[in-house]
Amino acid sequence: MTGTLVLVRHGQSDWNLKNLFTGWKDPELTELGVREANAGGQALADTGIKFDIAFTSDLKRAQDTCKIILDKVGQPDLKTIRDQALNERDYGDLSGLNKDDARKKWGEEQVHIWRRSYDIPPPGGESLRDTGARVWPYYLTEILPLVLQGKKVLVAAHGNSLRSLVMVLDRLSKEQILELNLATGVPMVYRLNADSTVASKEVLGDMSGAH
């Protein structure tokens, strides 16, 4: 019996809109972000899926996205576990800065390295590898066992925490994961084999809106 794992990146946040490094800061969803979460929830509702449990991060934009989706699929009271293991990558000293201002301060090339390298963190922050180092153990101990029991699990989280999961699920290299952008509010539906490998993957929506 295979279970189902659904990953959804939160809808656009206020700081996404303002082009700020967000990380562990806690801005709200924008009106567009709410619409994106509703659209993702509707796409899931259209499949008829019913979840057994949901996981989200310790940050409001992911929690609100999770709540909107659960409302849409008719499960507003579903047990939902929040954990900072699923938080966005911590951008350290870059958090709260406008991305253009950061480029002026540190230079275009250095900021690009921090944003797009796999294992070079910004000052006081995390690299994508560091993010994976807290996401992977949590996935292996808390989420994967439920999926392997045949349960349907929703994870509403963030661009980088989910990228680190997709890297493992889709068996992407360090180079390939750096090219991957996850669209906001677009569910990725994985069905796993008994050995935890991916039996199938379906993206419910248009990936051309990725940003």
Q: How far is Cα 116 from Cα 3, in angstroms, rounded to an integer?
A: 32
Listed in sequence order, the residues at least 6 apart from 108 whose beta carbon sits closer than 8 Å to its beta carbon are none
Q: Are 71 and 45 in contact (CB under 8 A)?
A: no
Q: Is 142 a catalytic residue?
A: no
Q: Are 47 and 189 in contact (CB under 8 A)?
A: yes
Q: Is 88 a catalytic residue?
A: yes
Catalytic position from the list 10, 36, 126, 158: 10
CA dist list (Å): 81 to 4, 8, 72? 17, 15, 18
Q: How far is Cα 188 from Cα 182, in angstroms, rounded to an integer?
A: 10
For residue 160, give the DSSP letter: H
Catalytic position from the list 36, 88, 126, 158: 88
**SS3 label, residue 128:** helix
Active site residues: 10, 88
